[in-house]
Amino acid sequence: MSDRSGIFAGDDPFMLFRNWLDQAVGTELNDPNAMALSTVDASGMPNARVVLLKDIEDDAFVFYTNYESAKGQELDESGKAAFVMHWKSLRRQVRVRGLITREDGVKADEYYNSRPLKSRLGAWASAQSRPLERREALEQKFEDVVSQKGDDPSRPPYWGGYRLAPLEIEFWADGEARLHDRFQWRRSAVDAAWSITRLNP
């Protein structure tokens, strides 16, 4: 596409995404890898929350959570999700929609073991998304976990990763007079070729 140049140049959307994220790392005050993840529940009611993108693979995006949380249950049930990343410092955003699979193997173990000890212990202590009668109960559970698990806890069986293989990726950059630039990469299946379309702002 002749007018897709400058910050939009390139034939690989994952490389383009990495380039934008790398720039955001140098300009965003906090968590340049924060993304608003959207799911739907069994009734079709949408849900959104901020999670951290932890890896960009050659053909997918990876994040981690508690499988028994609301988001985990919704991801497992629908097998689909969307997210948006917005970098105010760059005045850019990326929107992604695609198919979900679990990352529940060695890679999840490696990431879990790379986390700070208290975060690893916290994954054992929190029954994420479920009712909590009082804060003190959570703090006591954490202390119990510290006593039981010590300083080298294994990854909980209900905690791990999700991989989102995109069918759509949209790159957006702010423009004067609200004439923003938008390019949508789209494919019919995860092994299909991408088509690229410029969209109206």
In 7-130 the beta strands, taken as DSSP E runs, fall at 34-40, 46-52, 55-56, 61-66, 80-87, 92-103
Query: Other CB atoms closer than 10 Å to residue 98's CB: what's the count?
Result: 20
User: How many Å is the maximal CA-CA distance in the chain?
Assistant: 62
Is 134 catalytic? The answer is: no
Tokens matching residue 137: 């109960």
3-state class (DSSP) for residue 96: strand
From the list 115, 178, 186, 198, the catalytic residue is 178
Distance CA 183, CA 201 (A): 10
DSSP conformational letter for 7: G
Tokens matching residue 26: 């140098």
SS3 content of the chain, % helix, strand, coil (to 5): 30, 35, 35
Which are the catalytic amino acids? 178
